[in-house]
Amino acid sequence: MIKQIFIASILGGACVLHLAQQDPWVQQLALSYFKHEFQEALDCAVSGKFKRLSFFPAQIELTDMYVTARDGSDWRWHADQFAIQISWQELLLYGTFDFQISIDNFKAESGMHNAQLAMWPHITLACAGPTLDIYTFLNKIDVTNASLTAEDPHHNLRFFIALDSHTQKNNHAMQSAIELLDGYVHVGERTLFKGLSGSLQLDSFACQPGIDICLGGAASLELPQLGSQKTACYNS
């Protein structure tokens, strides 16, 4: 009898959660909470359209997501799809938030000042992760069809890079497989390089102080300033 009551309670709770995730009020509550935590953690303003809420697995998905600076800094990014998922297993067994993030069609734009991206503080906060009362860590992040455009009007410089990226935690390291799809640097009317492509493997390790990074791979690019003749070129 006790076993039957327990099973019935579990099934009843699952049914309640399934119905709750379809409720518009619950969906808006979850969306508001996500936006608030995202904005506080990354010091930004967020807008987006709700797509789906799920409790099994614990996941919320947004479309047409815009992120801008709170202080008016010259940077912004947009994603067609943004999904974040939390592992119930890690939460229940170890008391930690294990995040998995998926971003599709990510487009970022940033100004440059003194050779530094205006959005660099935002990137630093994203790498540090949220400061919650419970221990959190990023387990995996997939970014597809991503691009970054940066402009420095003072030096008339424009930088562009397009890539796909898959990052996953492996023991004490974050390992990233990056596929370079395109890239160029323009200074005024001159093109320093274009047609960037290749594959990179980036491993990062937390240390005190800072982060150790190991980068390897192979890439190619075009250097229009060298002309059409074959020319020996060395890089070290």
Query: Which is more confidently placed, 21 or 80?
Result: 80
Q: Is 50 exposed, middle or buried (0-12, 13-18, 19+ CB in 10 A)?
A: middle
The pLDDT of residue 40: 86
- Of 51-55, 61-65, 158-162, 221-225, the poorest mean pLDDT is in 51-55
The pLDDT of residue 21: 53
The pLDDT of residue 105: 96
Mean pLDDT of 44-54: 85
Paired tokens of 104: 């599709």
Asked if 146 and 162 touch (Cβ cutoff 8 Å), the reply is yes
Residue 216 has pLDDT above 80, yes or no: yes
What band does 204 get if pLDDT is binned at 50, 70 and 90? confident
Distance (Å, whole) CA 86 – CA 68: 25
Residue 24 has pLDDT above 70, yes or no: no
pTM over 0.85: no
Mean pLDDT of 44-65: 84
Cα 112 from chain centroid (whole Å): 20
The total of other beta-carbon atoms located within 10 Å of residue 196's CB is 19
Distance (Å, whole) CA 143 – CA 163: 8
Residue 4: what residue type?
Q
The pLDDT of residue 9: 37
The pLDDT of residue 6: 34
Distance (Å, whole) CA 147 – CA 79: 10
Dihedrals phi, psi of 125, to nearest 5 degrees? -65, -40
The pLDDT of residue 164: 96
- pLDDT tens across 98-146, in order? 778 899 999 999 999 887 888 988 887 776 655 544 445 677 889 999 9
Mean pLDDT of 214-221: 87
Asked if 59 and 86 touch (Cβ cutoff 8 Å), the reply is yes
Q: What is the dihedral of CA 95, 100, 106, 109, to 10 degrees?
A: 30
Query: Which is more confidently placed, 105 or 31?
Result: 105
Residue 15 has pLDDT above 60, yes or no: no
Distance (Å, whole) CA 104 – CA 80: 6
For the chain, give the mean pLDDT. Answer: 78
Residue 207 has pLDDT above 50, yes or no: yes
The pLDDT of residue 66: 95
Residue 67 has pLDDT above 50, yes or no: yes
Contacts 24+ apart (CB under 8 A), 77-81: 77/106, 77/107, 77/108, 77/109, 77/119, 78/106, 78/107, 78/108, 79/103, 79/104, 79/105, 79/106, 79/107, 80/104, 80/105, 81/51, 81/105
Distance (Å, whole) CA 144 – CA 105: 6
